Amino acid sequence: MANSSSSLPPLCEKISYKSYVLRAVDLTIIGLFFSLLVYRILHMNQNDTVWVVAFLCESFFSFVWLLITSIKWSPADYKSYPDRLDKRAHDLPSVDMFVTTADPVREPPIIVVNTVLSLLAVNYPANKLACYVSDDGCSPLTYFSLKEASKFAKIWVPFCKKYNVKVRAPFRYFLNPVTATEDPEFAIEWEMTKREYDKLTQKVEDAEDSHWLNADDDFEAFSNTKPNDHSTIVKVIWENKGGVGDEKEVPHLVYISREKRPNYLHHYKAGAMNFLVRVSGLMTNAPYMLNVDCDMYANEADVVRQAMCIFLQESMNQNHCAFVQFPQDFYDSNADELTVLQSYVGRGIAGIQGPIYAGSGCLHTRRVMYGLSLDDLEDDGSLSSVATRKFLAEENLVREFGNSKEMANSVIDALQRKSNPQAILTNSLEAANEVGHCPYEYQTSWGKTIGWLYDATAEDVNTSIGIHSRGWTSSYISPNPPSFLGCMPPGGPEAILQQRRWATGMLEILFNKQSPLIGMFHRKIRFRQRLAYLYLSSWGLRSIPELFYCLLPAYSLFHNSSLFPKGPCLGIIVTLVGMHCLYTQWEFMSLGFSVQSCIFDVILKLFGISKIVFIVTKKTMPDTKSRSRNGPSQQKDDGPDPDLGKFEFDGSLYFFPGTFILLVNLAALAVFLIDLPLSSHIHGRSGSGWPEACGCVLVVMLFLPFLKGLYEKGKYGIPLSTLSKATFLAVIFVVFSVGK
Ligand SMILES: O=c1ccn([C@@H]2O[C@H](COP(=O)(O)OP(=O)(O)O[C@H]3O[C@H](CO)[C@@H](O)[C@H](O)[C@H]3O)[C@@H](O)[C@H]2O)c(=O)[nH]1
Ligand SMILES: [Mn+2]
Distance between CA 173 and CA 169 in Å, rounded?
A: 6
- Cβ contact 334:147 at 8 Å: no
Phi and psi at residue 552, in whole multiples of 5°? -60, -45
Pocket test for ligand 1, best of 97, 98, 99, 100 (most atoms within 8 A of CB): 100
Task: Give the nearest ligand 1 atom to 328 CA.
Answer: 29
Which H, E and C letters describe 529-543, residue by residue? HHHHHHHHHCCHHHH
Distance between CA 129 and CA 161 in Å, rounded?
A: 15
Question: Which residues, 6+ apart, have CB-to-CB distance to 154 below 8 Å?
Answer: 246, 247, 249, 250
The ipTM value here is 0.98
Distance between CA 641 and CA 630 in Å, rounded?
A: 17
- Cβ contact 94:129 at 8 Å: yes
- Ligand number nearest CA of 260 is 1
Fill in the amino acid letter for 267: H
Nearest 5 degrees, angle CA 343-CA 347-CA 348?
A: 115
Answer yes or no: 136 catalytic. Answer: yes
Question: How confident is the model at residue 404, as a pLDDT?
Answer: 94
What's the gap in Å between 372 CA and the centre of ligand 1?
A: 26
Distance between CA 541 and CA 15 in Å, rounded?
A: 33
Question: How confident is the model at residue 539, as a pLDDT?
Answer: 84
Annotated binding site: 107, 136, 269, 293
Question: How confident is the model at residue 419, as a pLDDT?
Answer: 74
What's the gap in Å between 718 CA and the centre of ligand 2?
A: 26
Question: How confident is the model at residue 587, as a pLDDT?
Answer: 78
- Ligand number nearest CA of 501 is 1
- Ligand number nearest CA of 104 is 1
Give the closest residue (by CA) to ligand 1 atom 16: 498
Task: Give the nearest ligand 1 atom to 268 CA.
Answer: 1
Fill in the amino acid letter for 552: L
What's the gap in Å between 360 CA and the centre of ligand 1?
A: 8
Distance between CA 45 and CA 556 in Å, rounded?
A: 17
Task: Give the nearest ligand 1 atom to 461 CA.
Answer: 22
Q: pTM for the complete prediction?
A: 0.90
Distance between CA 269 and CA 204 in Å, rounded?
A: 25
What's the gap in Å between 295 CA and the centre of ligand 2?
A: 7
Question: How confident is the model at residue 224, as a pLDDT?
Answer: 86
Pocket test for ligand 1, best of 269, 462, 621 (most atoms within 8 A of CB): 269
- Ligand number nearest CA of 293 is 1
Give the closest residue (by CA) to ligand 1 atom 12: 616
SS3 at position 579? helix
Annotated binding site for UDP-alpha-D-glucose: 107, 136
What's the gap in Å between 268 CA and the centre of ligand 1?
A: 8
> Which listed residue (77, 135, 136, 329) is catalytic?
136
pLDDT in tens, 209-223: 666 666 678 888 898
Question: Which residues, 6+ apart, have CB-to-CB distance to 239 below 8 Å?
Answer: 252, 424, 425, 426
Integer distance in angstroms from the first to the last C-alpha of the chain?
75
How is the chain split into domains, by residue range?
Answer: 20-73+540-634+641-739, 83-488
Task: Give the nearest ligand 1 atom to 102 CA.
Answer: 33
Distance between CA 642 and CA 408 in Å, rounded?
A: 57
- Ligand number nearest CA of 102 is 1
What's the gap in Å between 536 CA and the centre of ligand 2?
A: 18
Give the closest residue (by CA) to ligand 1 atom 24: 359
> Which listed residue (77, 135, 332, 460) is catalytic?
460
What's the gap in Å between 718 CA and the centre of ligand 1?
A: 29
- Ligand number nearest CA of 294 is 1
Task: Give the nearest ligand 1 atom to 101 CA.
Answer: 33
Question: How confident is the model at residue 642, as a pLDDT?
Answer: 55
pLDDT in tens, 674-719: 876 665 555 443 577 888 899 999 889 888 888 888 888 888 888 8
Give the closest residue (by CA) to ligand 1 atom 25: 359
CATH architecture observed for domain 83-488: Alpha-Beta Complex (3.90)
What strands lie across the sheet with 484-486, from one edge to the other? 297-298, 484-486, 329-330
What's the gap in Å between 293 CA and the centre of ligand 2?
A: 6
What's the gap in Å between 545 CA and the centre of ligand 2?
A: 28
Give the closest residue (by CA) to ligand 1 atom 26: 359
Give the closest residue (by CA) to ligand 1 atom 13: 617
Give the closest residue (by CA) to ligand 1 atom 8: 293
Give the closest residue (by CA) to ligand 1 atom 28: 359
Angle between helices 720-739 and 656-682 (to 10 degrees): 30
SS3 at position 486? strand
Mean pLDDT by 10 residues, the chain (740 residues): 60 92 93 93 86 93 94 94 86 95 94 97 95 96 95 96 94 88 88 96 85 73 90 95 80 97 93 97 96 96 95 70 93 74 88 95 96 88 86 89 94 88 88 96 94 91 93 93 89 80 85 76 82 90 87 89 85 86 78 55 45 70 47 40 67 84 93 73 61 90 87 85 91 83
Answer yes or no: 460 catalytic. Answer: yes
Q: Tell me which residues have their CB within 5 A of the ion that is ligand 2.
A: 293, 617
Give the closest residue (by CA) to ligand 1 atom 19: 359
Task: Give the nearest ligand 1 atom to 501 CA.
Answer: 23
Task: Give the nearest ligand 1 atom to 488 CA.
Answer: 17
What's the gap in Å between 588 CA and the centre of ligand 2?
A: 22
Pocket test for ligand 1, best of 112, 293, 363 (most atoms within 8 A of CB): 293
Task: Give the nearest ligand 1 atom to 614 CA.
Answer: 3
To which H or E segment does residue 362 belong? strand 362-365
Annotated binding site for Mn(2+): 269, 293
Question: Which residues, 6+ apart, have CB-to-CB distance to 76 below 8 Å?
Answer: 14, 15, 16, 17, 18, 347, 350, 351, 476
Phi and psi at residue 185, in whole multiples of 5°? -60, -45
Question: How confident is the model at residue 636, as a pLDDT?
Answer: 37
Give the closest residue (by CA) to ligand 1 atom 5: 269
> Within 6 Å (CB) of ligand 1, which residues are found?
100-102, 107, 134, 136, 268-269, 272, 293-294, 359-360, 457-460, 498, 501-502, 505, 614, 616-617
